[in-house]
Chain A
Amino acid sequence: QVQLVESGGGLVKPGGSLRLSCAASGFSFSGYYMTWIRQAPGKGLEWVSYITSSSSRVYYADSVKGRFTISRDNVKKSLYLQMSGLRTDDTAVYYCARYDYHTSGSPFDYWGQGSLVTVSS
């Protein structure tokens, strides 16, 4: 079965950096786009970034552009999010999700359990 397991979250000071990882299993990782989505405490969902299956293209929400970097390792079946210049409003649970771009609607069809990132002094 499809499994996505995030790790790397924690407490970081404003201006600091953190790297999230997402380990995938149960599907052909190299054949799928992948994405990061976040949810601030008590708030709704916000798309953060996505990466194509071969890493040829990456896209970011304006709120994180220039500060976050998405990447993947298809051999290790892992997705990453390098976050720098962190701000207090980046505090959120970060979910990795499989992005089924080639299915009508391009749904995020499987999600990890999430990793909490807290930015506070």
Chain B
Amino acid sequence: QSVLTQPPSASGTPGQRVTISCSGSSSNIGRYPVNWYQQLPGTAPKLLIYSHSQRPSGVPDRFSGSRSGTSASLAISGLQSEDEADYYCAAWDDSLNGPVFGGGTKLTVL
């Protein structure tokens, strides 16, 4: 059972906008910045969003992040087939005194 809760799956059609949620608590998302990682099939994870909403260079602006209270969201607009991947949220957690990940959301592009 992950400290951060994500839906196990999400889906959308090309061009659509999809959102993936990440629910936490006051000891993690409610207090610390959230990062998002994308893991394409058979590859290592890659940083997608950091500090709630910042994109590393090279990440398309189709990807955006936000936080509200103890929850965070990743939004992908103009969905493309190459966006099919697993997505993980992460944040520091005071209770565990370390970084924690969500369980991951498998995004399928129909």
Determine whether the beta carbon of A111 is less than 8 Å from that of B44: yes
Give the interface size bracket for B toward A: 20 to 34
Cβ proximity bits B22-61 to A, threshold 8 Å, 1 near / 0 not: 0000000000111101000001111100111010100000
A103 within 8 A of B: yes
Determine whether the beta carbon of A47 is less than 8 Å from that of B98: yes
Determine whether the beta carbon of B56 is less than 8 Å from that of A47: no
Collect the chain A residues with CB atoms within 8 Å of residue B47's CB: 107-110
A112 within 8 A of B: yes
Determine whether the beta carbon of A111 is less than 8 Å from that of B51: no
Residue of A nearest to B91 (CB): A105
Partner of A107, one of B44, B50, B102: B50
Looking at B37, B52, B88, B92, the one whose CB has the most chain A CB atoms below 10 A away is B37
A27 within 8 A of B: no
A37 CA to B37 CA in the complex, in Å?
A: 13
User: Which chain A residues (41-92) contact chain B, with CB distance < 8 Å?
Assistant: 44-47, 50, 59, 61-62
Determine whether the beta carbon of A44 is less than 8 Å from that of B45: no
A106 within 8 A of B: yes
Number of A residues with CB within 8 Å of any CB on chain B: 23
A111 CA to B88 CA in the complex, in Å?
A: 14
Collect the chain A residues with CB atoms within 8 Å of residue B97's CB: 59
Q: Which residues of B contact A (CB under 8 A)?
A: 2, 32-35, 37, 43-47, 50-52, 54, 56, 88, 90, 92, 96-104
Q: Which residues of A contact B (CB under 8 A)?
A: 35, 37, 44-47, 50, 59, 61-62, 95, 103-114
Given contacts A44-B2, A45-B90, A103-B51, 12 further A-B contacts (CB under 8 A): A44-B104, A47-B101, A104-B54, A105-B34, A105-B51, A106-B35, A106-B99, A107-B47, A109-B50, A109-B56, A111-B45, A113-B44
